[in-house]
Amino acid sequence: MATVEQAQSSGIQITVTDKAVNEVLKFMDAEKVPVESGGLRVSVLPGGCSGFKYSLNIEEQPLEDDHVIALERIRMFVDGFSLQYLNGVTVDYVSSMQGSGFTFTNPNATGGCGCGSSFTA
């Protein structure tokens, strides 16, 4: 199994695989966002084919009301609405002949769809 970085903050636990962390660091470097102040925004938004969808963005700094989750090499910024849906989530990065991208394994999801980026809670 890939190495992972786990963080517990604000009453939740998030796991990010080493491959996902490396990809986040590449994006941060490409966008010239310093690791010390920037991070990965992880959001859960209404929409998608199952009710909710994940969103990832590189940001230069957290918003005032964000929960900042410090992993070993990166920080994650999560808003209060999204936080309730992310406990126990594992974020990974996969590459295949069909494409590459971030994936989410969410033990709280009660359903999903074929696209892999939408879920029901």
Domains contained in the chain, CATH given:
4-120 (2.60.300.12)
Tokens linked to 110: 């009660």
Q: Highest mean pLDDT range out of 6-10, 52-56, 106-110?
A: 52-56
Mean predicted confidence (pLDDT) in 77-82: 92
Mean predicted confidence (pLDDT) in 86-103: 89
Residue-wise DSSP of 30-67: HTT--TTT-EEEEEEEEETTTEEEEEEEEESS--TTPE
- Residue 71 CA to residue 14 CA, distance in Å, equals 9
